[in-house]
């Protein structure tokens, strides 16, 4: 009897986790696939189809450590552009990045795409997170 109850409870828990995960992964996939389109339109010309950048002119988007450490600042970089030197993979890039005219949800989508492509693993960066980050732009 006890075994049955434990079994039932664990089954429910497993089901719950599984459904949770799939909802999360649906959100992720939705952000990621629409983010790919935003990337193509607004980012790819400069940063490249594989996020490779361009020599010492345009930084690559493959520095996972940089992206992880600056995760909450990335939305502001996209929204306002970047006008100061940054160090990516040990190299300094000092050319300006222009601001992109994107809505918070588009920024969230493209960040989810970049953050989970080119060898990066930042999981979903959703609209709420981007809204919160944008409120703190310097």
Binding flags for other proteins, 55-74, as an x/- string (CB under 8 A): xxxx----------------
Our finding on whether 86 is near other proteins (CB under 8 A) is: no
Taking CB under 8 A as the criterion, the residue among 18, 25, 98, 119 binding other proteins is 98
- Written as six digits, the tokens of 30 are 């939705």
Choose, by CB under 8 A, the member of 28, 36, 46, 122 that binds other proteins: 46
CA distance 81 to 38: 16
What backbone phi and psi angles, to 5 degrees, belong to 73? -95, -15
List C-alpha distances in Å: 17 to 22, 23, 28. 9, 10, 16
CB-facing half-sphere around the CA of 9: CA atoms within 13 A: 6
DSSP states of 48-73 as a string?
-TTS--BTTTB--S--HHHHHHTTTT
Total binding residues for other proteins by CB under 8 A? 10
Least distance from other proteins to the Cβ atom of residue 44, Å: 8
Considering only the stretches 13-21, 32-40, 43-51, 101-109, report the one whose residues sit in contact with other proteins under the rule CB under 8 A. Answer: 43-51
Pick the closer one to other proteins by CB: 27 or 95. Answer: 95
**In this structure, is the dihedral angle defined by the CA atoms of residues 52, 55, 57 and 59, taken in order, positive or negative?**
positive
Residue range at the interface with other proteins (CB under 8 A); choices 1-9, 31-39, 44-52, 65-73:
44-52
Residues that bind other proteins (CB under 8 A): 45-46, 48, 54-58, 95, 98
């Amino acid at each position: 009897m006890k075994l049955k109850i434990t079994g039932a409870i664990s089954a429910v828990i497993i089901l719950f986790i599984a459904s949770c995960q799939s909802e999360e992964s649906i959100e992720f996939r939705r952000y990621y696939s629409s983010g790919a389109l935003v990337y193509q339109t607004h980012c790819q010309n400069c940063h490249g189809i594989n996020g490779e950048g361009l020599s010492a002119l345009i930084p690559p988007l493959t520095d996972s450590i940089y992206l992880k450490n600056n995760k909450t600042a990335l939305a502001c970089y996209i929204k306002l552009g970047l006008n100061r030197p940054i160090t990516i993979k040990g190299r300094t890039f000092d050319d300006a990045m222009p601001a992109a005219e994107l809505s918070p949800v588009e920024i969230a989508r493209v960040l989810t795409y970049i953050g989970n492509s080119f060898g990066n693993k930042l999981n979903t960066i959703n609209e709420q997170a981007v809204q919160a980050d944008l409120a703190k732009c310097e």
